[in-house]
Chain A
Amino acid sequence: MNPQNLAFKLLGLLAPGREALAGDLLEQVQKGRSALWLWRQVIGAIVTGCIRDVREDRIGALKVVAIGWATMLGFFFIAGDFLAHSGDQTVPRLLSYLGAHHAGVLWLERLRYVPATVIGCVLSGWIVGRPVLFYAASVCVALAVAATAIAWYAAPVSVPHTLFYVVMLALPYWWWSGLLIVPLLIVVGGLWRVASSEPLGTKGTLW
């Protein structure tokens, strides 16, 4: 899929019912507008659409955020330790094989927490990514809470156990990646759900 088709696909998934807008954008691209222009328009349309939908149903948006975070933290609480400890043997062996210990790259051991983080975030996006809703609110709050968790981590103040896996992707070495990866994973989960569901319409409550 080329970048132009991807932009239109994203627009269809994240801003459903905007057929006239998609037509306008295609018309302009065929008249010579750049790919950068197209992406700016698509991202702008998604953001303005999300803001509109959240404003129309603030309570529903709050529910989405709560459900998304409850799913993520519940998953971390239930399965996080199991997934993290399942790498107890393999990760040190792999690091030893790679010579990481000799090189002093011990933080790579934290990679064992990545599966739990990835699955938890994607699952949370999948749960809230119903066809008629936008999960931008969850993403924004994910961003905010991840940032808060980083602040706690950096303080250093102990963080709640279930937030540990969120923080793991925001290690000092990967400082900014945590801010991007957590919401990105939620979006991926949401897109997965939206793409695999029948659209229910263009209007409706967020939840």
Chain B
Amino acid sequence: MVRQHLTDFELMILLAVLRIGDQAYGVPIAREIEETARRSVLLGAIYTALDRLEENGLVTSTYGDPTPARGGRAKRFFKVTGKGLKAVKETQRAFTALWSGIPQLKGGTA
């Protein structure tokens, strides 16, 4: 069964991929999350989540050319699909709806 909403980690990854654009592979995705969300992440966990997102059709991946700096291994670039973008928007809508109407979270006094 495909879940309708994303986990917070999946959402962060999709947003990071969208922010980075064409050069979205493991290292920049991890850096983007660490710098922007201030959350320490494991590259392995990012790839595991991206594999899951790809299986659900939310991202696609393509391989670049192998480089000597990577021991002859290619970079795996990710791109968010239309379905992925829809899932991000839906998750944002759900979070925003949950967020509204909570007095403790108004005026930055959370």
Residues of A within 8 A of B (CB): 15, 18-28, 30, 40-42, 44-49, 51-52
Contact = CB atoms under 8 A, between A and B. Distances in A.
Contacts of B47: 18, 20-21, 45
B74 A52 contact: no
A54 to B, nearest CB: 12
Contacts of B45: 44-45, 48
A24 B25 contact: yes
**What is the interface residue range for chain B against chain A?**
20 to 34
Contact of A20 (B42, B52, B75): B75
15 contacts: A19-B73, A20-B63, A20-B73, A20-B76, A22-B73, A23-B67, A23-B70, A24-B43, A26-B69, A26-B70, A27-B69, A41-B44, A47-B44, A48-B42, A51-B48
Contacts of B71: 22-23, 26
B94 interface: no
Contacts of A24: 25-27, 43, 70, 75
A49 B27 contact: no
B52 A21 contact: no
A48 B75 contact: no
B55 to A, nearest CB: 10
Contacts of B70: 23-24, 26-27
B54 interface: no
B44 A49 contact: yes
A46 B44 contact: yes
B51 interface: yes
A50 B45 CA distance: 11
A27 B42 contact: no
Contacts of A42: 44
Nearest to B70: A23
Q: Which of A15, A20, A44 counts the most B-chain CB atoms under 10 A from its CB? A: A20
A178 B66 CA distance: 44
Nearest to B71: A26
A58 to B, nearest CB: 15
A26 B73 contact: yes
A52 B48 contact: yes
A1 to B, nearest CB: 15
B41 to A, nearest CB: 9
Contacts of A49: 44, 48
Contacts of A51: 48
B27 A27 contact: yes
A36 B63 CA distance: 28
Interface string B28-51: 000000000000001111011001
A103 B99 CA distance: 70
Q: Point out which of B45, B63, B74 has the most chain A C-beta atoms below 10 A from its C-beta.
A: B45
Contact of A44 (B25, B42, B67): B42
